[in-house]
Amino acid sequence: MTTPSGRPSATALSQPEGIALAHALTARLARDCGVRALAMKGPVSAHHGWRNPRHSSDADLLVEPSGLAPLLSRLGELGWQQKPRYADHSVTLTHPLWPCELDVHDRFPGFLAEPDVVFDALWRTRSTIELAHSPQPCTGPVGSAVVAALHALREPEHGRHFHEFEHLVARLQERPQMREPIQALARETGALRTLAPLFDRLGWAVTADPPALHSEAYAAWELRRTSGTTAGVTWLLRLRSAPVVRWPALVPEMLLGREDRLRERFPQLPAGRRALWLARWWRLRAAVRDLPAAFAAIRRYTRTRSAG
């Protein structure tokens, strides 16, 4: 299609098209850079049956830690722009012509072993998924089950995460042969303690690692997990981990929030942009109300780190 001036016009992508093409694009760029990368979560989890199919709001990619910088550089050359980084496990990118975000991870919350060890284990157990008519490596059935469980357990009180966890438990109850490979992968990647709620629900007895192993990383996980519904904790952690020079970009990002997540948290919101400002006000009011509890949780975490 061309415009009256004779120049080609842009054709808008739907979000599902954008997700599939973003996966295909990043897989191709990773190969070109000589970087190992795995599609994960979203369509991969649905492909393996661990999640009901639904539209995702972003494309998730796990890349070997040494490959993060070259892949981000290549994406930047193609117009992908990095958003302020307030998470220590991923970089979120946007593109003016793309209807979705791209989350590039070099680690994943809940895996307490070193990121290189985790990636190698997930790479060894990988499988393949076809997205946008392009086969690409992805986390295998075992790795995807562990990733899905950790993602749900990170904020267990979140409505969607609760239902996804219940779905995963039901599917694993139907596939008891998954017990040994899942527990073996959890042991190798330092996820035995973080996956304990899943193992308890399934009645899978497991000998856990010594409490001292990964103690600081586990304390950070527990802080985020048990405070997942307290926005104040999340905001304080983001500010704590970011250099002060990044705060001017970080604070507006935290206050505004993503539309999809706001509507998920406040499903009663009417359509339209004005309603989003109401949701932001509700979210800010809750965060301010929870600040005393948030400061107390941070202090407990700090004492745990000092004791370790």
- Domain 15-202 listed as CATH 3.40.640.10: no
pTM to 2 decimal places? 0.75
Q: What pLDDT shows up at residue 23?
A: 93
Whole-number Å distance between alpha carbons of 295 and 171 = 39
Cβ 255 vs Cβ 235: under 8 Å: no
Give the residue with greater pLDDT, 155 vs 168. Answer: 168
Amino acid letter for position 79: G
**Domain spans of the chain, in order of start:** 15-202, 227-307
Signed CA dihedral, 217, 102, 52, 50: sign only: negative
| Element (DSSP H or E) covering residue 17 | helix 15-33
Q: How far is CA 203 from CA 66, 142, 169, 196, in A?
A: 38, 18, 11, 10
Q: How far, in Å, are 31, 77, 229 from residue 25 at the CA level?
A: 10, 13, 34
Reported as a pLDDT band with limits 50, 70 and 90, residue 220 is: confident
Name which residue leads in pLDDT, 207 or 75: 75
Does 4 have pLDDT greater than 50? no
Query: What is the Cα–Cα distance from 175 to 144, expressed in whole angstroms?
Result: 14
Summarize the confidence of residues 215-239 as an average pLDDT.
67
**pLDDT digits over 115-158, tens only?**
999 999 999 999 999 998 989 999 999 999 999 999 999 876 66
What token pair was written down for 173? 């109850």
